[in-house]
């Protein structure tokens, strides 16, 4: 009996002395919605989880919502009780695609669609519907207006028309929503967002003169001769004799920049057959294969689907397979040549060919955020009303936009680039820049552009790495009223 008592005492002391590790259970938010749809889940995952870092659950049970004693808010057409409320429009509860009619209002320096009215709204607009409208590229399914290359025109976009194209609206609105939720629930944990920079290079033509084959080379000489372009003729002759560097061969300069600024770029290689808009060196050329392999040693490499492969699955498959064969690894990244994209067809065909990430989302004629966001996001296929695993990486700026479409000089182009970097930096997003090896050659029309790129890189590396999540003061403000109804 004494031994049993001693053993029990020993066991009790042993158990008490064990340090039981603290298990952190993230604070979950509960959201009451009238109906759980694919659109609702998609945009809530993007804004609450991906951008704010919140864990949350959706419910359609009003009694469960009332009984829940944690952080919560109601998203719906009519307010219930005194809980935080975001008034909804119909967009996220529909399945079809149709013309959108909405009122706009001003909100914290931005113009916003889907304005709502009434007392007690956290936001004066349906922030979830507005964000879905932009990120899903809803308007691109409706408009039939295209440019000469069959692309949706930047000037037709709602953001351009309202002067908002150069602002990452979805990021800005999400931060504003987070601040209002934190005013209601000060202990809500928001993640710190990290500003990132991704340089990308489109290799439309690896060389201006070299490795083109006898017929193209001879044709180039005759073209310069008959056009009277003696400067180009002299340059071509010097390059072919090895007396001068090919003006498009800026790859050593790029490698030096990658080392100096610790860059992690992505290269997109045009592998299509020679055509009117596809003029790269044939991928069967040993020199081109050697270059591709070397680029693959320094960076990620993706396919640059040719102009001729637009919506042509057979040609696109051939190009992807050719690049994969040279690299000896699967190709999963893509950016369309000429930024020639049709929604949802282009993405659907890429998905069929096992491409998982696309970097085409941006405009050729205007700088800014085509999808209203400076972060990667999953493609929502509106035609089939479903989210996919296909990831979209929107770029904010292309060299040709400034030089060819906007006719900006180097100094003005640098100012535009810095302004966009500042916008992305303010929300802790990702700034993706599109340039070309030709541009960084710095010859003829691109004089001064390598220096501009160096200045931009220096400016970007000064950006802070982390952006704090939404913060507020200790006072809980009154709910925001909607705009005055006209």
In whole angstroms, give the CA distance from residue 182 to residue 252: 49
pLDDT value at position 191? 92
In whole angstroms, give the CA distance from residue 449 to residue 372: 27
Mean pLDDT to the nearest integer, 385-395: 98
pLDDT value at position 155? 97
Concatenate the DSSP letters of all residues of 141-183 into one string.
GT---B-TTSPBPGGGSHHHHTT-TTS-HHHHHHHHHHHHHHH
**Contact criterion met (CB below 8 Å) for 334 and 359:** yes
The tokens describing 319, both together, are 């190009």
**Nearest alpha-carbon partner for 459 in 426, 409, 422, 411:** 422
The per-residue pLDDT for range 308-359, each reduced to its tens digit, is 999 999 999 999 999 999 999 999 999 999 999 999 999 999 999 999 999 9
pLDDT above 70 covers what percent of the chain? Answer: 85
**Contact criterion met (CB below 8 Å) for 110 and 164:** yes
pLDDT value at position 143? 87
Q: What is the CA radius of gyration of the chain?
A: 27
Judged against a pLDDT cut of 80, whether residue 208 lies above it is answered with yes
Judged against a pLDDT cut of 50, whether residue 10 lies above it is answered with no
**Contact criterion met (CB below 8 Å) for 168 and 369:** yes
User: Phi first, then psi: what are they for 164, rounded to 5°?
Assistant: -115, 5
**Dihedral sign (CA 7, 8, 14, 15):** positive
CA 443 vs. chain centroid, Å, equals 30
Mean pLDDT to the nearest integer, 177-186: 96
Mean pLDDT to the nearest integer, 100-120: 94
The per-residue pLDDT for range 282-302, each reduced to its tens digit, is 999 999 999 999 999 989 999
The per-residue pLDDT for range 370-382, each reduced to its tens digit, is 999 999 999 999 9
Model pTM greater than 0.75? yes
Query: Measured between alpha carbons, how far apart are the two ends of the chain, in Å?
Result: 88
In whole angstroms, give the CA distance from residue 362 to residue 341: 10
**If pLDDT is split at 50, 70 and 90, which confidence band does 212 have?**
confident
Judged against a pLDDT cut of 60, whether residue 19 lies above it is answered with no
Name the one residue in this structure whose structure tokens are 């952190």. 24
> How many residues in the chain?
486
Chain-wide mean pLDDT for the chain? 89
In whole angstroms, give the CA distance from residue 60 to residue 48: 18
Multiple choice CATH, 194-208+246-467, 2.60.40.10, 3.40.470.10, 3.20.20.370, 3.90.1150.10 = 3.20.20.370
**Nearest alpha-carbon partner for 253 in 457, 462, 459, 461:** 457
Provide the b/e sequence for 377-388 (b: ≥16 CB within 10 Å): bbbbbbeeeebb
Domain boundaries, given as residue ranges, for the chain: 28-189, 194-208+246-467, 213-245
Burial (CB count <10 Å: 0-12, 13-18, 19+), residue 203: buried
């Amino acid at each position: 009996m004494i031994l049993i008592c001693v053993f029990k005492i020993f066991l009790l002391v042993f158990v008490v002395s064990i340090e039981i590790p603290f298990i952190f259970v993230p604070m979950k938010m509960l959201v009451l919605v009238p109906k759980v749809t694919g659109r609702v889940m998609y945009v809530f995952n993007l804004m609450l989880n991906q951008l704010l870092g919140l864990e949350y659950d959706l419910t359609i049970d009003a009694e469960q919502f009332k009984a829940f004693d944690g952080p919560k808010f109601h998203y719906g057409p009519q307010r219930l009780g005194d809980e935080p409320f975001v008034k909804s429009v119909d967009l996220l509860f529909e399945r079809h695609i149709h013309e959108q009619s909405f009122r706009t209002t001003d909100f914290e320096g931005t113009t916003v669609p889907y304005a709502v009215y009434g007392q007690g709204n956290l936001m004066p607009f349906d922030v979830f519907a507005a964000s879905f409208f932009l990120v899903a590229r809803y308007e691109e399914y409706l408009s039939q207006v295209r440019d000469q290359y069959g692309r949706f025109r930047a000037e037709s976009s709602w953001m351009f028309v309202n002067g908002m194209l150069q602002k990452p609206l979805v990021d800005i609105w999400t931060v504003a929503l987070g601040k209002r939720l934190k005013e209601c629930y000060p202990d809500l944990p928001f993640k710190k967002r990290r500003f990132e920079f991704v340089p990308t290079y489109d290799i439309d033509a690896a060389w201006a003169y070299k490795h083109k084959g006898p017929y193209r080379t001879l044709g180039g000489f005759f073209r310069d001769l008959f056009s009277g372009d003696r400067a180009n003729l002299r340059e071509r002759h010097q390059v072919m004799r090895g007396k001068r560097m090919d003006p498009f061969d800026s790859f050593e300069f790029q490698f030096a920049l990658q080392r100096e600024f610790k860059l992690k770029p992505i290269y997109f290689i045009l592998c299509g057959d020679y055509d009117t808009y596809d003029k790269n060196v044939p991928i069967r050329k040993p020199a081109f294969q050697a270059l591709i392999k070397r680029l693959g040693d320094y960076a990620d490499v993706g396919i640059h689907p040719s102009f001729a492969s637009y919506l042509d699955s057979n040609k696109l498959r051939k190009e992807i397979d050719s690049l994969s064969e040279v690299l000896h690894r699967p190709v999963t990244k893509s950016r369309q040549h000429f930024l020639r994209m049709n929604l949802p067809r282009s993405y659907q065909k890429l998905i069929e060919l096992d491409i998982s990430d696309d970097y085409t989302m941006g405009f050729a004629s205007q700088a800014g955020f085509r999808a209203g966001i400076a972060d990667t996001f999953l493609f929502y296929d509106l035609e089939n009303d479903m989210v996919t695993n296909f990831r979209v990486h929107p770029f904010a700026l292309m060299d040709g936009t400034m030089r060819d479409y906007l006719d900006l000089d180097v100094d003005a182009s640098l100012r535009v680039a810095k302004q966009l970097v500042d916008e992305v930096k303010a929300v802790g997003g990702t700034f993706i820049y599109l340039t070309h090896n030709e541009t960084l050659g710095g010859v003829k029309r691109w004089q001064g552009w390598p220096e501009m790129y160096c200045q931009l890189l220096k400016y970007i590396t000064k950006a802070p790495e982390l952006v704090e999540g939404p913060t507020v003061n200790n006072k809980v403000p009154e709910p925001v009223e909607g705009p005055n109804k006209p």
